[in-house]
Structure 1
């Protein structure tokens, strides 16, 4: 109780300090002697992400001049048309290429440090967990669809594991918050992430190269060259290399990434432009690592669980001898003996390919854009992030074509019409070993999605607009899959010599006699049996369709002030899985209300944006490790019920002096599962959970777990981002000092709501100093990230076989030097 009271007081003090800081900033603005003078902004390649104008910076070779009177503008395409971010009546954050470079972001997992509403954590095998304002999924299983749509170069990517390898030579990244039920539509119930590469520049020769070296023997490099093909064409070739040692003591949490992209642009006629792009990425190394937080054991006399800390720090990986010694103390459940060392088999060998095109044709009535795309990937990895070994071999292929027509205004009406066809084939084999049990799955999933959409904007006056949008989506999923499971069961009081199951790809590799489905065979001389569950087979087709809509009001209340309000709905497809009792899960739905205002004051020196939101989910999907109706442990999707999320976000950007930019974002978020229940087999002890659990009066062989009233995962009540950029002019050169920090209040990062899955409030800060000439043709920088070296938890789960909590820690303090040159 004292700890909880202290945390509440600490959060209140934090809020008070923030209010004082805002007031101080306002006073400094009014009293600044330079206020009202003509000024220039700090160099845009070194400013913080929320203050940068729409520039190509180092990655795009040339810079648009920053308006002399204040903050620059950012151009976005979040609503499928080019517009000033301050005129886009939707909640969206934009991350610039220089912000990505400064923050060391090479994959989706670090985007949350720049976007307060976003949380992206690694899940092993190259798959990220993406949560936005508490909405998202744990993605240990690649079969299901993410609730945050990920789009690369205007192409929707169906698999969460295919979202890395794009984070170089970028124009920007847009993070749209809330359902995108009309223009994006498919599986965007929580939001969308748009990764937009730099386009080739017709008739221009240019390029850049950036390289850095840091601790953990980290070497990163990226670059691009833009070659003119006459005055109306260009070829752009870009690439990236990332290599660093493991952050954990066993060498895990390393990275080996190589990627390149080739784009060809041709302005074939004054009205027709064609761009074709191809990309490749390989992801290798040992993969993400984890560590043991604690063990737990049920005390039947006290009627509660006793939790014992592991005594291991967050840098001690699972294959470290100290961790292996701890593992040998864990009891292997049904096997009647303790576990043995975890086999050191962790690796990642993934490859990704893609080809897409953009055909833009200007007609007398508007612009027609057609985007055909094909993508394929092969994922072969064994990860240990759950505390056991899981081998995934997966082959994905997708094809899509989107057509949009942005019509010229007809009287007071402008409009966008479009259609999307998406086809995907996902073939996967999983082999999961927990020593006392092993599960094998073979799955083939085919998805076909068709959609048509329209959005109309009625300009009733120059300052007042009504917006209406609608989308019809039809999804069809063909699924065939099987699941085969084995368990070592002790038939004696104890079985200390019972053989445990090694990690293998196929059951025949156990080296043990295999029982028939639903049968057992004795393991001679051990007192144990090898039990094989019944074969679970699913072969079915599921079809779903939905009409989603958007309605909005937009008002220009002043020359540089916009007020907007909207209601929008979203829909995420259901699916199928070879899990007894959970063979099919249903679609989820959301209705979201948003109101906001975007403003510029004091001759473009102060930007203040605010937004309030209310999200209501129905039939919400959640993926996690669980137990099916036969008592077999698995990772699967459940429809858990309803939830309500609401809150507000404020963003301020201040050009305090001609060479000083201050940046602040504050989000308040309240999340609540209105109805969150699921069932588990009764077992010998109640489930290890922070939720209420009771034997069902209607089915005594099951327990009902009720987590209603709990907050959503990865949903801190308060998130604060603060940043400053200070430029010092030194003759023909400049020195730019940048610093930023992020505060997040406590949040749950695991499915079970136990104490070891609750992360307390955290601060994480970065800093950088850059020296460059006035024309920015080259630069040298020194940087440090996670100055506090805080190794807080990103994700934590319970290891049922072994009764332990296993977690993924944050990246430790990293530092290094970087050099850049462009021409």
Structure 2
């Protein structure tokens, strides 16, 4: 867990429509560590009494750490790594499990939920990180209680709820370098004796961290909620939210290029000589780009189109109806969400032009029964219906891919969990979930390639060939381009180059069903010590790719073993939690760029093999004095692919990979690339978070000084396992100072983040058309001042 935000016993606000202000308190909680109430198991309970692998970050801690988006969560949770590859997507990796690209027709490995509602598209995670109660990060498969099955874990973002009978609010503001402005606030208004309205909003702005203005932020958001106790047993809460993301979005820098030596038959990496702060549309980068040779097109690249922007809007409405009966509590959660994406990004050194409309409806119904004999139980049903309408262009100048598609998903599930209270100290838990996923995909990918037919010294040479422009349809192509029919070829003027068109059409259903289960135990070793263990299965449904030979892929499966011990010692002043885990994957889905069966570059997912993930995590908090708090989290991770083998067609040059490869003995005209035994992507062996907080009493005021640091050992950030895609060990440290009255009515403070000023590589992307590499990096050192007030 993150460093606690206070030094005396306190409880999180109620969730699930019930008061938990005392239920979570430790028996010894007079003066001691905070208790945090979580709802990860669909019931309100102390995080220390929940027999699951979970990290919890409170709302105040998120504000203090400057978390304004999903991409910032990784610095709070050791098991979590997050990267942005351009556009609106935030890609999550939890203990080495994730997928490098999430498009409109594949499901994420890490389930993301907002206010109890599963979000089908990771693009929809923008503009939610304000006025939050907490964020819960569950590690491992969520195969019995959650809306959609997830193999790697779940992230639950839980906003603060309206509070009946209370007129209150807060406002927070900060200003820092890069002209960074952050504003957020909320007001809670009682409505009669049995209702409350809560309105919250947020605005974040900062200039780009790269020289061309990319990696900036322009986000604003608004949330409204109304809570009413219609009767003593019936509570209804309704909410709506809106957010908009503008600016340019994530950017990258040229790392270098791979030069192929025909004599030796190998690649040599040639660094670009540009710094990691130089964006791709900076004049220096544009000059470098024009030295990159575009292979079969026989000429160097044109400058990158500088029209990079985001114009993404997100809408949502949801309700929670809670009815307490003599037999138990019925919860009904209907929800609707809609996204409109319009963005151009260039992080991979080519332009991705995304226009997409996403709409989803969901309905979850749960019944939490009163104890029958020794048994507690939860029964539920879930319906999810999503439609995606996408128009994508991936404009690489020498190769343009145009995709138009519609994707429809309907998922049904029935689930239940039974707890047998064998004694006051021992509980056995069993869970089952049956899921049916029905998908229908209808899409067309048209790939256009500029191919040179002339050569000099056996090297293609068409220096006057016109390269393909950025556009949302190939119908926009103008002279000298003449659009050929699918599978056809036309000359490009008199340049000696040809325009080749390949088409992939996918129109088919994909239906899967799966029964997942969980078996576990909880044993109270002492009043403040919980021993727990579980075996749980999970699956992620299959999907589609618009690449020849990879049109569909199968589900992936996981079995996860967990054993943990949660403790409070020294009269609630020391917390020590330990967890060991062992995960087995099979038919693991890997999404990556590559050469498809037609010899064209594509983005596709395949079931590349299996992996074994094992390790341990330890978390400690100690209240040395009533004003001194120390914390530490350590994760050891051994995540490896036991089988990771895939094919690429044999071309003019060998595949660009750091893994061994050979001519396939089973598939003619293919290389077999074997990355078995390699560590999983984004899976550092060691991750260590350390924190300290000291409070000084100054009469009626207090001064709080806090610092934290995170250490990660080396890890690989791209699937090719090239030497340049390996990031060495890194440190990132932060410091905070706050001053205000003891009653917390107002505060002023200052902060500095990434004290070391290290731009750490978080993603490595390959521009295959030019055999070039780019890197996405974390923000540089940022600092500023802040102020806040509550009433």
Same fold (TM over 0.5): yes
**Mapping 1:582-731, distance limit 5 Å:** 582-731=550-699
Aligned-partner Cα distance in 2 for 1:53–1:161 = 34
Aligned-partner Cα distance in 2 for 1:594–1:314 = 40
Shift of 1:253: 0.7
**Could you say which residue in structure 1 is the equivalent of 2:545?**
577
Q: Is it true that 1:515 corresponds to 2:484 in the alignment?
A: yes
Aligned-partner Cα distance in 2 for 1:613–1:479 = 37
| Secondary structure in 1 matching 2:166 | coil
**Could you say which residue in structure 1 is the equivalent of 2:515?**
547
Q: Contact conserved, 1:679 with 1:703, CA < 8 A, in 2?
A: yes
Distance 1:49 1:286, change over 3 A: farther
**Could you say which residue in structure 2 is the equivalent of 1:818?**
786
Shift of 1:141: 2.3
Q: Contact conserved, 1:579 with 1:636, CA < 8 A, in 2?
A: yes
Aligned-partner Cα distance in 2 for 1:633–1:284 = 30
RMSD over aligned CA atoms reads: 1.7
Aligned-partner Cα distance in 1 for 2:535–2:676 = 26
Distance 1:50 1:757, change over 3 A: farther
**Could you say which residue in structure 2 is the equivalent of 1:538?**
506
Distance 1:526 1:156, change over 3 A: same
Deviation digits for residues 269-312 of structure 1, max 9, x if unmatched? 00000000000001100111000001111112223211111111
Shift of 1:780: 0.3
Among 129, 140, 159, the residue aligned to 1:167: 129
Q: Is it true that 1:74 corresponds to 2:36 in the alignment?
A: yes
**Could you say which residue in structure 2 is the equivalent of 1:459?**
421
Aligned-partner Cα distance in 1 for 2:78–2:564 = 17
**Could you say which residue in structure 2 is the equivalent of 1:20?**
none
**Could you say which residue in structure 2 is the equivalent of 1:6?**
none
Aligned-partner Cα distance in 2 for 1:662–1:138 = 35
**Could you say which residue in structure 1 is the equivalent of 2:171?**
209
Count of aligned pairs: 775
Q: Contact conserved, 2:3 with 2:691, CA < 8 A, in 1?
A: no
Aligned-partner Cα distance in 2 for 1:353–1:49 = 34
Shift of 1:203: 1.6
Aligned-partner Cα distance in 1 for 2:337–2:103 = 20
**Could you say which residue in structure 2 is the equivalent of 1:740?**
708
Deviation digits for residues 737-781 of structure 1, max 9, x if unmatched? 000000000000011100111000000001000001000000001
Distance 1:413 1:277, change over 3 A: same
| Secondary structure in 2 matching 1:180 | coil
**Where do 5+ consecutive residues of structure 1 fail to align?**
1-43
**Could you say which residue in structure 2 is the equivalent of 1:54?**
11
Distance 1:364 1:371, change over 3 A: same
Aligned-partner Cα distance in 1 for 2:117–2:77 = 22
Aligned-partner Cα distance in 1 for 2:389–2:549 = 22
**Mapping 1:711-790, distance limit 5 Å:** 711-790=679-758
**Could you say which residue in structure 2 is the equivalent of 1:14?**
none
**Could you say which residue in structure 2 is the equivalent of 1:84?**
46
**Could you say which residue in structure 1 is the equivalent of 2:458?**
none
Shift of 1:578: 2.2
**Mapping 1:366-385, distance limit 5 Å:** 366-385=328-347
Q: Contact conserved, 1:52 with 1:96, CA < 8 A, in 2?
A: no
Distance 1:412 1:64, change over 3 A: closer
**Could you say which residue in structure 1 is the equivalent of 2:387?**
425
**Mapping 1:389-400, distance limit 5 Å:** 389-400=351-362
Among 176, 179, 182, the residue aligned to 2:138: 176
Among 474, 494, 499, the residue aligned to 2:466: 499
Name the structure with the higher helix share: 1
| Secondary structure in 2 matching 1:776 | coil
Shift of 1:695: 1.2
| Secondary structure in 2 matching 1:353 | strand
Aligned-partner Cα distance in 2 for 1:819–1:625 = 46
Distance 1:49 1:349, change over 3 A: farther
Q: Contact conserved, 2:206 with 2:216, CA < 8 A, in 1?
A: yes
| Secondary structure in 2 matching 1:144 | coil
Give TM-score, length-normalised by structure 1: 0.93
Range with greater deviation from structure 2 (712-721 or 557-566): 557-566
**Mapping 1:6-21, distance limit 5 Å:** none
| Secondary structure in 2 matching 1:397 | strand
**Mapping 1:115-126, distance limit 5 Å:** 115-126=77-88
**Where do 5+ consecutive residues of structure 2 fail to align?**
456-460
Q: Is it true that 1:249 corresponds to 2:211 in the alignment?
A: yes
| Secondary structure in 2 matching 1:126 | coil
